[in-house]
Chains A and B, each alone.
Chain A
Amino acid sequence: MVALANIGVLPRPVHPTGVWSWLTTVDHKRIGLLYGATALAFFIIGGIEALIMRAQLAAPGQTIVSAETYSSLFTMHGTTMVFMVVMPAGAAFFNYLVPLQIGARDVAFPRLNAFSYWLFLFGALLMNFSFFVGAFPDIGWFGYAPLTSNEYTTTAATDYWLLGLQVMGIGSLSAGFNFVVTILNLRAPGMTLMRMPLFTWMTLIVAFLIIFAFPPLTIALTFLLFDRFFDMNFFNPAANADPLLWQHLFWIFGHPEVYVLILPAMGIVSDVLPTFSRKPLFGYPMIVFAGIIIGFLGFGVWAHHMFTTGLGGWANAAFAGSTLVIAVPTGVKLFNWLATMWGGSLLFKTPMLFALGFISMFLLGGLSGVMHAVVPVDTQQQDTYFIVAHFHYVLVGGSVFGLTAGVYYWWPKMTGKMLGERLGKWHFWLMLAGFNMTFLPMHILGILGMPRRIYTYDAEAGWSAWNAFISAGSLVLAVSILLLLVNIAISLRRGEKAGDNPWGAATLEWAISSPPHHYNFAVVPTVHSRYPLWDEEANVLEPPPLPPHEEPLMPAPSYWPLVVAFAIVMTFAGLLIWQWHALIGIAFMVVMALTGLRGIYGWVFEPLTVEAPEAVQAHS
């Protein structure tokens, strides 16, 4: 028994700075920054992939890349932007901000939080590692069966794709559980659910969507894994399987996923608008309930991605109806945002501009989405550039504009320095112009009949002028992102110092110093209203920093989340070794699985805080 009880008591990592401090951190703020930096890196990679595609399509009949490379480019562009950029960017914000906004010192399970990040990072690296073995996934971000079967993808590319996605999915799931518990349970005294900042509310809904929508994806990927590695029949038409099963399972996950991508941006905008309108959010409960309704309905619209697969009239009618209905709560939110600004003293700082960009661009994306709810219209638009235009208006015009608003808004809180306002405005206007130059004409190309995912086209098709224009627009968009990077670099080097509350905002995160102490709140505040810092009665302002001996006991850094995450990704990667040499592969997987098991025991038996006498006693 001695061995079992002492299993977790290894020397604890103690480095306050340096690489090891980041590798072993369990601080939600540091994990948030890790998510953010990783998302930004993949944003650049995904952006470069997009620019290569636009270079290829700038003129008819070009051969900058081959058809195969082009397929890989759109596959990895989509997968990267969805799973490695927008999702982790949202995760960056909800890791950094949710504990601050609810008046907590960390998340409910700090080590689980680090574990989620490492799984995400390792999954993303595993998928992108396919590049170095010369097999870039080329099956589309949706990976439709039976194109993914051994018969049609003979390289390991699809294996890397599915294993990487599976690992990232486990990471998202564990983050989802963590934030459900954190938001429900770790609120400061007086912070009732209906007093939570909107960003926290939307994160709660996202966390629920993740834990309920990811299991179908996990299963679908498992089926695919078994088909590819063990020759099972889940998507094998020769065994009378229905390849449409993949589409069903993928979109049962995929449509809630759309709301996982957009709701954090909606939450950010709902926090930014009141600050820069100097008045409370109009219709707070309506926005909350609209978010909840969107969350539920999100599970009932998946087949609108499949109108052309011949589901039958009743199915099409039902899903057309539910798709029209889901536009209503979204519309409710839009009107509430407009009403928030009505009569306010508007301040057009950069975060506000991006929030307005979000509202207007997302509205356009939403409207073309409603068009797709109409089955005959959708049948015309299926697989044309009209669809490409639609979802880029939602994901770039919506998510990316909203997340960028969040970057400008919370950057001072995270770093203690302001981003340049002048460069920020240039960034905004160039991005707005570049974005619309790139994606507005895609509607027209779609109506003209240009199909998606073609690597080149004929000059006689009459699409050349618009394509040249779009490619030029994409360069403008790229320059605007470059301005953001320049702005970040300047701010980090010699940015103007930000006070605790540079925007005069009202929520709890602005009560504490910028950047916050590692324990966030010296004294956990008591909340009396939705806008505590605008509330004269409230006394939530942070006292001066605590002397070291009075600092609250915080969770200690730990090696185990890193060890377990590494063991999991390596166990999955072992399948790739198994393909090459069965015995070595199995041995590798067994070793890695045992490492993971050892890591889990270490984790469980390791006290969360170093000097907690009760916690040590309980185990020894």
Chain B
Amino acid sequence: MATEHVAAHKEHPGPRQYVIIGVILVVITAIEVGLFYIQATPALIVWLLLASSLAKFLLVAGFFMHLRFDDRRFAILFFVPLLIMVALAVALMAMFFSLTR
């Protein structure tokens, strides 16, 4: 990480792209709610719901928060604690639900 480094910004998206992302977010939410009312293997639905939440998360973080276009170090500053938190949560759940006994 050299000093006086001026981050090379990729072109930020314009209002058109933002609206498209907004529409995609709404569609995913609609699909999620639809999934919720489907009677199917719970495991499958749960994984689909988690995946769609992750997709929305990444869309907002990547486009609305500009992580895809902005300096990569901001993304590191955000995703490292996120990974730590996910690891902590998984470890805690393993212990709480007696998977480690």
Instruction: List CB contacts (< 8 Å) of A173-221 with chain B.
Output: 187, 189-193, 212, 216
A300 to B94, CA, bound (A): 14
Chain A, interface size category, equals 20 to 34
A342 to B17, CA, bound (A): 62
Of all chain B residues, which has the CB nearest A211?
B81
B 57-101 to A, binary, CB cutoff 8 A, 1 in contact else 0: 000000000000000000000000100100110001011101111
Q: Which of A190, A216, A242, A300 contacts B96 (CB 8 A)?
A: A242
**Interface residue count on the B side (C-beta < 8 Å):** 16
Question: A299 contacts B3, CB within 8 Å?
Answer: no
CB distance from A255 to the nearest CB of B (A): 12
Contacting residues, chain A, for B6 (C-beta < 8 A): none
Task: Please tell me if A544 contacts chain B, counting CB pairs below 8 Å.
Answer: no
A190 to B3, CA, bound (A): 7
Task: Please tell me if B38 contacts chain A, counting CB pairs below 8 Å.
Answer: no
Task: Please tell me if A152 contacts chain B, counting CB pairs below 8 Å.
Answer: no
Question: B100 contacts A191, CB within 8 Å?
Answer: no
Contacting residues, chain B, for A300 (C-beta < 8 A): 87
Task: Please tell me if A312 contacts chain B, counting CB pairs below 8 Å.
Answer: yes
CB distance from A489 to the nearest CB of B (A): 43
Known A312-B98, A312-B101; contact A299-B1, beta-carbon cutoff 8 A: no
Contacting residues, chain A, for B87 (C-beta < 8 A): 299-300
Q: Which of A191, A216, A252, A314 contacts B3 (CB 8 A)?
A: A191
Question: B95 contacts A312, CB within 8 Å?
Answer: yes
Question: B1 contacts A252, CB within 8 Å?
Answer: no
Known A192-B2, A192-B3, A312-B100; contact A299-B92, beta-carbon cutoff 8 A: no
Task: Please tell me if A303 contacts chain B, counting CB pairs below 8 Å.
Answer: yes
Q: Which of B81, B88, B96, B100 contacts A252 (CB 8 A)?
A: B88
A189 to B98, CA, bound (A): 54
Contacting residues, chain B, for A212 (C-beta < 8 A): 81, 84
B 18-49 to A, binary, CB cutoff 8 A, 1 in contact else 0: 00000000000000000000000000000000
A 286-320 to B, binary, CB cutoff 8 A, 1 in contact else 0: 00000000000001100100000001111100100
Task: Please tell me if B11 contacts chain A, counting CB pairs below 8 Å.
Answer: no
Task: Please tell me if A248 contacts chain B, counting CB pairs below 8 Å.
Answer: yes
Known A189-B4, A191-B3; contact A315-B94, beta-carbon cutoff 8 A: yes
A191 to B4, CA, bound (A): 10
Contacting residues, chain A, for B4 (C-beta < 8 A): 189
Contacting residues, chain B, for A313 (C-beta < 8 A): 100-101
The contact sample of 16 A-B pairs, CB cut-off 8 A, is: A190-B3, A192-B3, A212-B81, A242-B96, A248-B92, A299-B87, A299-B88, A303-B95, A311-B100, A312-B98, A312-B101, A313-B101, A314-B100, A314-B101, A315-B95, A315-B100
8 cross-chain pairs, A with B, having the tightest CB-CB distances, nearest first = A312-B101, A312-B100, A315-B100, A314-B100, A212-B81, A315-B95, A311-B95, A299-B84
7 new A-B contacts at CB < 8 Å, known A313-B101, A315-B100: A192-B1, A193-B1, A212-B81, A242-B96, A300-B87, A314-B99, A314-B101
